[in-house]
């Protein structure tokens, strides 16, 4: 999987062109209002460090396009003009999030305020693009049937799946990746699906979803560990996502934790996801390689997977120690495709944690709390906060 169409690596740092600055500032305004719900222009200027004139221009445009709503004026103390609080208009625009993994496709539609408006879930079986595209199209038409009027103001789709992306010898190798996606990029998918598509890794989308909907809303530095068929991490550092040079930051499934350990399809031995993943669970419990056997196991209490927990815990504890020492994070959030009771058992098995730059035992590990749709909801936020999303220009021109 490639995230973008091939383009030459930039050799120099380019200056800011005005169009880019405008869309970047618009994104800053939208994100800041979403986080704070209601803000006056003066508060926006302070929080975004933009000039009052820039804030005034951007908010005028977004109000005109119906993306922002103006509230009743409030007087701030005795002096000055009354200020108008601005909020996101839930019906100002809509966005779709699609999570594709080995076993499920979950598609959600959210409004501008992030509220779930429609949802579809379909079983899949390790789909290639050729198999997945018709399923995604069907999910889109089902979403449209649930909320047809929203289609007029659709910003696009965030499509997320397991990584890594575009890494020779890793991307489409082995049972933890989805097959046949290495030649696909967002441009091709946008053309095939008839709307702007942003691609991202599932772990990164989970980190966004947990930030917007779950237990990470107050954290400035955390890592989301996504235990799926493989293992990935979403990095949220200093208040923003960290994607890495080629969007593969957090691909910790291939971090070596046992130099002479189990062979991995990437060519190394002892990769972390050979011990901590649904695939590793199935192998450890000697399950047949099919979805049914795993589903049946996960329907039991986590004691049924005790042998796997005992092999996973020390390796994961080591990885958490590395993440804490390297990144000085406030917490590691654990989520993914395990049922909640199994996630809890995995977290419990990690205590006591090794000492690191973080000392408190209690708050260093958190369970993902945004629920089963965390990845799809995080994916749906991608088009809303994508400063390059061309749909904004369409909505603004239509106003």
Residues that bind Zn ion (CB under 5 A): 254, 264, 266, 268, 271
CB of 268 to Zn ion, least distance (A): 5
What is the rounded distance in angstroms from the CA atom of residue 96 to the CA atom of residue 196?
A: 10
Given the complex with Zn ion, which of 20 and 263 has the nearer CB atom? 263
H helix runs in 199-339, sequence order: 202-213, 278-284, 291-298, 306-327
- Asked if residue 2 lies in contact with residue 166, where contact means CB atoms within 8 angstroms, the answer is yes
The three-class DSSP label of residue 167 is coil
Omega prior to 164 cis, within 30 of 0: yes
CB of 254 to Zn ion, least distance (A): 4
CB of 291 to Zn ion, least distance (A): 23
Given the complex with Zn ion, which of 198 and 254 has the nearer CB atom? 254
DSSP assignment of 312-324 equals: HHHHHHHHHHHHH
CB of 176 to Zn ion, least distance (A): 9
Tokens of 339: 């049922």
Residue 11: partners with Cβ closer than 8 Å, 6 or more residues away: none
CB of 259 to Zn ion, least distance (A): 13
Given the complex with Zn ion, which of 156 and 282 has the nearer CB atom? 282
Given the complex with Zn ion, which of 264 and 280 has the nearer CB atom? 264
> How many other CB atoms are found less than 10 A from the CB of residue 202?
27
Given the complex with Zn ion, which of 85 and 253 has the nearer CB atom? 253
Tokens of 239: 């208040």
The rounded radius of gyration (Å) of the Cα atoms in the chain is: 22
CB of 276 to Zn ion, least distance (A): 12
DSSP 272: G
What is the rounded distance in angstroms from the CA atom of residue 336 to the CA atom of residue 143?
A: 24
CB of 263 to Zn ion, least distance (A): 9
Given the complex with Zn ion, which of 166 and 383 has the nearer CB atom? 166
Given the complex with Zn ion, which of 235 and 264 has the nearer CB atom? 264
């Amino acid at each position: 999987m490639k995230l973008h169409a091939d383009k030459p690596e930039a050799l120099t740092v380019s200056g800011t062109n005005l169009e880019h600055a405008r869309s970047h500032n618009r994104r800053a305004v939208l994100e800041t209002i979403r986080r704070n719900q209601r803000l006056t222009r003066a508060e926006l200027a302070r929080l975004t460090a933009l000039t009052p004139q820039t804030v005034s221009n951007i908010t005028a445009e977004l109000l005109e396009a119906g993306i922002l709503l103006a509230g009743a004026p409030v007087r701030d103390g005795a002096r000055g003009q009354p200020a108008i609080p601005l909020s996101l208009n839930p019906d100002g625009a809509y966005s779709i999030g699609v999570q594709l993994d080995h076993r499920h496709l979950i598609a959600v539609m959210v409004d501008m305020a992030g509220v779930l408006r429609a949802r579809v879930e379909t079983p899949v079986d390790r789909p290639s693009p050729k198999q997945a595209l018709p399923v995604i199209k069907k999910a889109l038409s089902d979403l449209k049937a649930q909320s047809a009027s929203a289609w007029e103001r659709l910003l696009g789709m965030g499509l997320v799946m397991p990584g890594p992306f575009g890494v020779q010898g890793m991307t489409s190798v082995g049972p933890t990746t989805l097959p046949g996606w290495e030649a696909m990029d967002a441009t091709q998918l946008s053309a095939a699906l008839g709307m702007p598509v942003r691609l991202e890794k599932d772990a990164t989308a989970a980190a966004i979803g947990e930030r917007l909907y779950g237990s990470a809303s107050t954290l400035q530095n955390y890592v989301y560990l996504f235990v799926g068929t493989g293992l990935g991490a979403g990095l949220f550092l200093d208040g923003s996502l960290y994607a890495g040079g080629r969007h593969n930051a957090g691909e910790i499934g291939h971090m070596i934790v046992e130099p002479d350990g189990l062979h991995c399809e990437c060519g190394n031995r002892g990769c972390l996801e050979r011990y901590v993943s649904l695939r590793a669970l199935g192998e450890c419990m000697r399950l047949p390689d099919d979805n049914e056997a795993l589903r049946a196991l996960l329907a039991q209490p986590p004691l049924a997977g005790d042998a796997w927990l005992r092999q996973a815990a020390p390796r994961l504890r080591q990885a958490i120690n590395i993440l804490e020492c390297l990144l000085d994070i406030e917490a590691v959030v654990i989520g993914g495709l395990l049922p909640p009771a199994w996630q809890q058992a995995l977290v419990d098995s990690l205590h006591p944690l090794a000492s690191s730059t973080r000392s408190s035992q209690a708050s260093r590990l958190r369970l993902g709390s945004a629920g089963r749709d965390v990845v799809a909801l995080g994916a749906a936020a991608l088009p809303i906060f994508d400063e390059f999303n061309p749909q904004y220009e369409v909505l603004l021109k239509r106003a």
